[in-house]
């Protein structure tokens, strides 16, 4: 039987891979940029993602 990993385990595994990646790797650069966001930055990012997903649903 296949047991689906919980979200925390998935996030942990992804971050482990990012930490091991080359500094020029896009995923590492993205996570680094995200780590620098303040609350306002997170709010803006959330709105951006909501706009993107709303646009995808319209198609």
- Top pLDDT among 56 and 21 is at 21
For 5, which DSSP code? P
Using an 8 Å Cβ cutoff, are 18 and 31 in contact? yes
How far from chain centre, in Å, is Cα 56? 18
pTM, two decimals, is 0.70
Residues 6+ apart with CB under 8 A from 43: none
Kindly list the domain boundaries of the chain, sorted by start residue.
7-58
Could you tell me how many residues make up the chain? 59
The predicted-structure confidence for 16-43, as pLDDT tens digits, reads as follows 999 999 999 999 999 999 999 999 999 9
């Amino acid at each position: 039987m296949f047991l689906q990993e919980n979200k925390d385990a998935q996030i942990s595994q992804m971050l482990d891979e990012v930490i091991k990646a080359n500094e020029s790797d896009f995923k590492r650069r993205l996570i680094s940029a995200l780590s620098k966001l303040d609350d306002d930055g997170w709010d803006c990012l959330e709105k951006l993602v909501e706009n993107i997903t709303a646009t995808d649903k319209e198609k």
